[in-house]
Amino acid sequence: MVRARFQPDAATAQVPATPGTRPTTWSLSTVRQFLSTRAVLEPLSVWALTRLLMIALTYTGVILFGNALHDPQHPSFLHALLPAWANAKSHGWDTQWYTDIARRGYDWTKSVGTSPTAFFPLYPLLIRLGVIVTHRSYLGVALAISNLCFLGALTFLWRLACWEFDAEVAGRTILYISIFPTALFFFAGYTESLFLLLSVAAFYYMRRRAWLLAGVVGAQASATRVTRIHLLVPFLYEYSRYSNFSWRKVEPRGLVGLATVPTGLLAFMLYLRATVGDAFAFGHFQAAWQKVFTLRLWAGPLESLRQILVVQPWASFFEVHNVINLTALVLFLGTTILAARRLPAAYSLYLVAFWCVTLTSPAIANGYPVPLISMSRYVVTLFPVFMAWGLLGTKHTWHDLYLVVATAFLAVFTVQFLIGGWII
């Protein structure tokens, strides 16, 4: 892998001040010049076009699948477009959990034994703050936060990919992640957008050796989902590499940044200890979703394969879900091997840490029929994989095939989600 030297945009490059002159200020013309750079326009364009696509799918999906040809009334569905993203027919899925936490906090449970403590606090906290500031609905604020975070994530990802390679690879990277079949969760009231933003930003600052900023962003990531604690692995490697793997060259700011990463998780654990009396409640209540802890990383994939070939009827509901999740696993795990050859080592360590954390908690308790539940959603935030695909995008066959297949499945999955169906 040959690393391209990052060339800052003219509008963002700093002009050194000379004696007797004032430093450059942000005038209106400077702001316009900055906003017209490729680093701003390309992520903004991809974000805007894919948001329009999601709005179009919402409009057509809700109306066409919510009405019947011979319905004598044909009512307006305008009032149903936004609530469709709350999945009222399916009890809201995770969106309902996050908005309920924003309203009520964590000291409550559901009759079926599930608990809000399984969901991390940063996203519902932002929803709560947004409602207080804007006086809008919890769902509307949740969707706004997700989409704004996704814009920020694309901007950081473009700059990171450009830093590692070039602008062409960066453009393909943000396009590919935006149209991946489960990219609908970057629009929905889920943590994926916030998760992606904080993960990419942590890497962006880490690779630029801004250790304290990387640590602060990493701490927020660890307060978004437990799996982001594995940011410690690439952080430790990058800082060790920066220090030439010598304790004598270790600097305090790097150690402080590294130690800051898990503080988001630790703060949540202290909060749970104070409110529900169990600092590890986020892990204990995973059993309600049939998840177990195991060091047999192959247990989930093998059980998924068994469900497909032996247990589930051919062309059945659970069979197709297992096929989707197992395909996502194979595709992203295979690309992890490719990334080891094409990307810097920190990205490979990040991916390996993700697989070690994720595959230790398959849903295999009580014969649950979908052992790799939500795998197709979890992998959509693995931005190093999309960077590797961005490198492959120079091959027109791969590029065109990806655009057609990914967009088609994105449309199918989005409509299925909007009408209350289970797709993950």
Give the DSSP letter string of 301-360.
Answer: HHHHHHIIIIISPTT-HHHHHHHHHHHHHHHHHHHHHHHHHHS-HHHHHHHHHHHHHHTT
Mean pLDDT, to the nearest integer, of 225-249? 84
Task: List, in order, residues 6 or more apart from 82 with CB less than 8 Å away.
Answer: 139, 140, 143
Give the pLDDT of residue 342. Answer: 92
Query: Band of the pLDDT at 202, cuts 50, 70, 90?
Result: very high
In the predicted structure, residue 362 carries a pLDDT above the cut 90: yes
Distance between CA atoms of residues 231 and 218, nearest Å: 7
**Average pLDDT of the residues of the chain:** 88
Q: Which of 3-17, 109-123, 246-260, 332-346 has the lowest mean pLDDT?
A: 3-17
Tokens of 143: 């969707």
Q: Could you read off the pLDDT of 119-142 as tens digits, one per residue?
A: 999 999 999 999 999 999 999 999
Alpha helices in 80-137 (DSSP H): 93-104, 122-134
In the predicted structure, residue 397 carries a pLDDT above the cut 80: yes
In the predicted structure, residue 69 carries a pLDDT above the cut 60: no
Distance between CA atoms of residues 258 and 271, nearest Å: 22
> Which amino acid, one-letter code, is at 387?
M
- How far is CA 73 from its chain centroid? 41
Q: Could you read off the pLDDT of 402-418 as tens digits, one per residue?
A: 999 999 999 999 999 98
Pick from 299, 278, 424: which is nearest to 361 by CA?
Answer: 299
Contact 234, 242 (CB under 8 A): no
Burial of 106-131, coded b for 16+ CB within 10 Å and e otherwise, reads beeeeeeebbbbbbbbbbbebbbebb
Q: Calculate the CA dihedral of residues 236, 240, 245, 251 and round it to 10 degrees.
A: -120
- Tell me which range, 112-116, 128-132, 223-227, is most confidently predicted by mean pLDDT: 128-132
Pick from 79, 48, 51: which is nearest to 66 by CA?
Answer: 79
Q: Could you read off the pLDDT of 299-310 as tens digits, one per residue?
A: 999 999 999 999
The three-class DSSP label of residue 192 is helix
Give the pLDDT of residue 75. Answer: 63
Mean pLDDT, to the nearest integer, of 168-174? 97
Q: Could you read off the pLDDT of 39-50 as tens digits, one per residue?
A: 999 999 999 999
Mean pLDDT, to the nearest integer, of 98-114? 85
In the predicted structure, residue 349 carries a pLDDT above the cut 90: yes
Give the pLDDT of residue 31. Answer: 73
In the predicted structure, residue 289 carries a pLDDT above the cut 60: yes
